[in-house]
Amino acid sequence: MQQANWHSNRSGKSGVILLVEDHDLYREVVRAALGRYLPDFEMLEADCVAAALPVLQAHSVDVLVVDMTLPDGSAIDLVEQCGYFIQQGVKVIVLSSHSSADMLPVLSRGDVHGFVSKEQGLKTLAETITAICHAEVPKANTYEDMKLEKAL
């Protein structure tokens, strides 16, 4: 089922992230973690390539975080279909359970700006997003932040 959602964390946003992940539970976990680590970013979501394309057309997205394997294609399929948006400055981070060695063909593409293995954790994903956007990652210094980090 195609699905796209929009979540605003705060006004005065630093940027907009489009998360394309087909597993509902994992997508919720990623959204919660990025909401903690990157509270000034707005979060958009889609569960497949077909749902992501209209979101890209309707919103000004800064970072596309896309799972490598989707029900109707791959991250590369989506990247190839949204070339216009990448030319306009959308940065692409591929999120996958595959190893970086397996992802070498993807990583060598000029239109993919980063790769995060799901095993690296969501703090690494937040750090990669901020490195690409030149923003600052808030430190996990509250009790709730530390609980979230342990849970992930």
- C-alpha to C-alpha distance for 108 and 95, rounded to whole angstroms: 15
Indicate if the pLDDT at residue 152 is higher than 70: no
Please indicate whether residue 35 or residue 150 has the higher confidence score (pLDDT).
35
Nearest to 115 by CA among 127, 103, 132, 102: 103
Indicate if the pLDDT at residue 96 is higher than 90: no
Please tell me the CATH code under which domain 4-151 is placed.
Answer: 3.40.50.2300
How far is the CA of 112 from the CAs of 14, 24, 63, in angstroms? 21, 24, 11
Confidence label for 84 from pLDDT (cuts 50, 70 and 90): confident
pTM for the structure as a whole: 0.78
Indicate if the pLDDT at residue 50 is higher than 80: yes
Please indicate whether residue 46 or residue 8 has the higher confidence score (pLDDT).
46
Read off the pLDDT of residues 34-43 as tens digits, 9 standing for 90 and up: 999 999 999 9
Residue type, 122: L
How far is the CA of 125 from the CAs of 58, 104, 130, in angstroms? 24, 18, 9
Q: Which two tokens stand for residue 124?
A: 């690494």
pLDDT confidence of residue 97: 84
pLDDT confidence of residue 126: 95
Give the single-character DSSP code of 139.
P
Domain extent listing, the chain:
4-151
Contact predicate 99/68, CB 8 Å: no
